[in-house]
């Protein structure tokens, strides 16, 4: 049973509560009995401050000083560069099983969408027609040969059309990802002699591989058959040039971007890094698209991913478009 005093107390509590919510909004600040240091004069980011000659409230660090915890002296760790400014070809932190797992975790968050779970460049972003520059497979001769520091740099600084992930991925996690990319590369490139020491059925693996190749071959043939009925026009070629992000690396105004311009390309003489040359006819342009590392144009790097998923009709349309850039 409640005593009368308790009852009175409870009743007044209810009354007070009811009084405090009067069902309307108020412009007045709420009652704030203990101010602590909640309210003080301060400047917002980017605000002006006439106290300083340059009028800025935000100050730059005093020259010659480094904020605590920000001394990034070891360039091999923070930039992946040795003392000569060359990319390091080792991972400059301790590699453990946990570290590798951490790399896998971050890789799956940040890289899989484009580079694919196995690093084959077929992430979900690349399978749709979203107009992205294709992410390369990590299982090519060139990327297997990349020094560790250069992979680190791709994450830290971005590379050509790939943005930097420095703001999302901490230094240590970047190295963890490099470790995992190396593990992925090894997983797809084990010479047969080395396979023998593992408990795997080579014959079975080989037959799985053949099946997969046959499946891909059948898909390619189906695409080819469908493309026989496609229209081939320069307008379609121009659309494809944008949709497939060719424009990220090839201009149409004669300026060199990552790759050579398409202006004036058709039927011109091309010189290659191996000293040979050729005329840019239909066959050459087709080869440049489906097998870009066959001939590397002089003055450029071997960085174009292969577009073998384009159908014959699509490639012919792109060639029609390229032709229009030489007619004058
Ligand atoms: C939005 C898609 C996208 C994401 C996400 C992405 N990449 Fe890339 N990556 C690309 C593209 C596109 C290129 C090719 C850029 C070019 O050649 O212009 C590339 C190139 C690379 C290269 C080759 C660099 C070279 O020297 O040729 C490496 C290594 C690489 N990425 C690693 C990573 C790692 C590690 C991650 C995760 C932290 C990642 N990428 C996330 C799209 C992506
Ligand atoms: C990541 C950048 C990049 C993208 C995207 C790209 N290319 Fe390239 N491409 C290059 C580079 C670099 C070269 C020169 C090196 C070489 O020969 O591989 C080149 C060479 C070529 C050449 C030979 C050019 C010449 O001057 O002889 C053709 C044709 C070509 N690309 C077509 C295409 C088409 C079509 C697309 C889109 C479907 C495309 N490229 C997308 C980078 C790119």
pLDDT in single tens digits along all 328 residues of the chain: 567 888 888 888 777 666 665 667 888 877 878 888 878 888 999 999 999 999 999 998 899 998 888 888 889 999 999 999 999 999 999 999 999 999 999 999 999 999 999 999 989 988 877 778 889 999 999 999 999 999 999 999 999 999 999 999 999 999 999 999 999 999 999 888 888 888 888 889 889 989 989 998 898 888 778 777 788 999 999 999 998 999 999 999 999 989 999 999 999 999 999 999 999 999 999 999 999 999 999 999 999 988 888 888 999 999 999 999 997 5
CB-CB neighbours of 317 under 10 Å:
24
pTM strictly above 0.85: no
pLDDT of residue 20: 62
Please tell me the predicted confidence (pLDDT) of residue 32: 79
**The ligand 2 atom nearest the CA atom of 240:** 38
Least Cα distance to 161 among 318, 304, 308 occurs for 304
CA of 305 to the centre of ligand 2 (A): 8
In three-state secondary structure terms, 308 is coil
Judge whether 75-187 and 234-324 match in fold.
yes
Burial of 177 (0-12, 13-18, 19+ CB in 10 A): buried
pLDDT recorded at residue 200:
84
For domain 75-187, the CATH architecture is Orthogonal Bundle (1.10)
Give the residue, by CA position, lying nearest to ligand 1 atom 37. 111
User: Cα torsion for 193, 136, 301, 297, to the nearest 10°?
Assistant: 90
Note the pLDDT of residue 292. Answer: 94
pLDDT on residue 17: 67
- Rounded-to-integer distance, Cα 7 and Cα 304, Å: 82
Q: Which CATH superfamily is domain 234-324 in?
A: Cytochrome c-like domain (1.10.760.10)
Domain ranges, ordered by start, for the chain: 75-187, 234-324
Q: Which residues lie with the beta carbon below 6 Å from any ligand 2 atom?
A: 133, 160-161, 244-246, 248-250, 258-260, 265, 270, 280, 285, 288-289, 292, 295-297, 300-304, 307, 318
- Sequence-separated (6 or more) residues with CB below 8 Å from residue 296: 272, 273, 274, 302
Would you report the helix, strand and coil content of the chain in percent, each value rounded to 5?
40, 5, 55
Q: How far is the CA of 137 from the centre of ligand 1 (A)?
A: 9
Per-residue model confidence (pLDDT) at position 311:
86
The number of the ligand 2 atom at minimal distance from the alpha carbon of 310 is 38
DSSP H or E stretch at residue 104:
helix 97-110
Give the closest ligand to the alpha carbon of residue 105.
1
Cβ(160) – ligand 1 distance below 6 Å: yes
Which atom belonging to ligand 2 lies closest to the Cα atom of 258? 12
Shortest-distance atom of ligand 1 to CA 106: 38
């Amino acid at each position: 049973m409640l005593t009368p005093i308790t009852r009175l107390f409870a009743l007044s509590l209810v009354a007070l509560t009811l009084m405090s919510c009067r069902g309307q909004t108020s412009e007045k600040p709420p009652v704030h009995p203990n101010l602590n240091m909640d309210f003080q004069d301060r400047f917002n980011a980017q605000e002006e401050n006439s106290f300083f000659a340059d009028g800025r409230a935000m100050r730059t660090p005093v020259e010659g000083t480094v904020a605590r915890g920000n001394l990034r002296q070891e360039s091999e760790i923070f930039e992946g560069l040795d003392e000569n400014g060359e990319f390091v070809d080792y991972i400059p932190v301790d590699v453990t099983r946990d570290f590798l797992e951490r790399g896998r975790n971050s890789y799956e968050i940040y890289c899989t969408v484009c580079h694919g779970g196995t690093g084959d460049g077929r992430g979900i972003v690349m399978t749709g027609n979203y107009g992205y520059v294709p992410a390369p497979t990590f299982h090519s001769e060139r990327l297997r040969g990349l020094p560790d520091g250069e992979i680190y740099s791709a994450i830290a600084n971005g590379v050509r059309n790939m943005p930097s992930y420095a703001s999302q991925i901490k230094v240590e996690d970047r190295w963890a990802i490099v470790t995992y990319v190396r593990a992925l590369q090894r997983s797809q490139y084990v010479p047969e002699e080395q396979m023998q020491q593992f408990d795997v059925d080579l014959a079975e693996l080989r037959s799985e591989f053949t099946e997969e190749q046959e499946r891909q071959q059948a898909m390619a043939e189906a695409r080819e058959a469908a493309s026989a009925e496609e229209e081939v026009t320069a307008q379609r070629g121009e659309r494809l040039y944008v949709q497939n992000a060719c424009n990220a690396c090839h201009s149409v105004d004669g300026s060199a971007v990552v790759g050579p311009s398409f202006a004036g390309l058709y039927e011109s003489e091309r010189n290659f890094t191996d000293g040979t040359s050729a005329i840019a006819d239909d066959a050459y342009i087709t080869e440049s698209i489906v097998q870009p590392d066959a001939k590397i144009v002089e003055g450029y790097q071997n960085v174009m991913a292969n577009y073998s998923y384009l159908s014959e009709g699509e490639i012919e349309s792109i060639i029609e478009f390229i032709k229009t850039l030489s007619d004058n």
